[in-house]
Amino acid sequence: MVGLAAGFLGGLSAFYYFFGKINIPGNNLNPPAITERKEITIQENKALKDAAAKVGGIAASIKITNSKGVAIYGSGLIFTSDGMVALPYSLFPPQSEGQITAAGKVTAFKVLKRDKAQNLVILKLEGANWPTASFYQFENLKLGERIFLEGAKAGGGNFVNEGVVRDFDSNSINTTIIEKVEAQGAPAFDIEGNILGIALLDKTGQASLIPIWAIKSFAGL
């Protein structure tokens, strides 16, 4: 009896060992889906890190001193190589003084265009050959698109935050990203580092984007 039991258990173990390696429908011993999801996550994380490294110099640090003498910090998007920068009107209204730090140095600039209704200001940095990136095409945008913000911190360096597109139309892109007020104006990108727009934050910190196609139109490009 003992010999029969041992033989039965040995055969059962061999059966599970052999068939557990075969991808049979309903076979719960084989976990290829888990492995596949893990590999996709690793690839996406690497793509995000690569894209963030590629576009880090595109975010300009903005320090605005308003008419009451209060300093406000945010970011701007360098979107042309000759130094055109987009930022929200709410960050840099009239009667304010601005200081722009781009590529690690304080840079002279002039205001080209400002419009409250479109909530946009276009600046022109002094100098040329500024870093920028390709523009995202509106027709490619889908719900759930993975995106990230990369803005400039007031004390130097950058920050990154990721999320997805929650909904959108031709004038605005709503995201799942929650950020601090200093992220106002931060450039937004897809996972490949193409420019999607600049961030606007509501009172809860929820980020929406002024799309790059609206910025281009406003700038006359």
pLDDT digits (tens, 9 = 90+) for 4-34: 444 544 554 444 444 444 454 555 555 555 6
In this predicted structure, the answer to whether residue 87 has a pLDDT above a threshold of 70 is: yes
Domains in the chain, CATH or no CATH each: 55-219 (2.40.10.120)
Q: What does the pLDDT read at residue 156? A: 78
Q: Which residue has the tokens 């055109």?
A: 84
Arithmetic mean of pLDDT, 80-107: 90
- What is the C-alpha separation between 109 and 100, in angstroms, rounded? 8
193: left (phi over 0), alpha (psi -120 to 50) or beta: left
Q: What is the pLDDT of residue 25?
A: 52
Structure confidence at residue 32 (pLDDT): 57
| pLDDT tens per residue, range 119-140 | 999 999 998 889 889 999 999 9
The Cα–Cα gap between 123 and 85 comes to 5
d(CA 112, CA 115): 11
Query: Which residue did the predictor score with more confidence, 45 or 214?
Result: 214
Contact 205, 175 (CB under 8 A): no
Average pLDDT along the chain = 83
Share of the chain above pLDDT 90, in %: 49
Quote the pLDDT of residue 3: 47
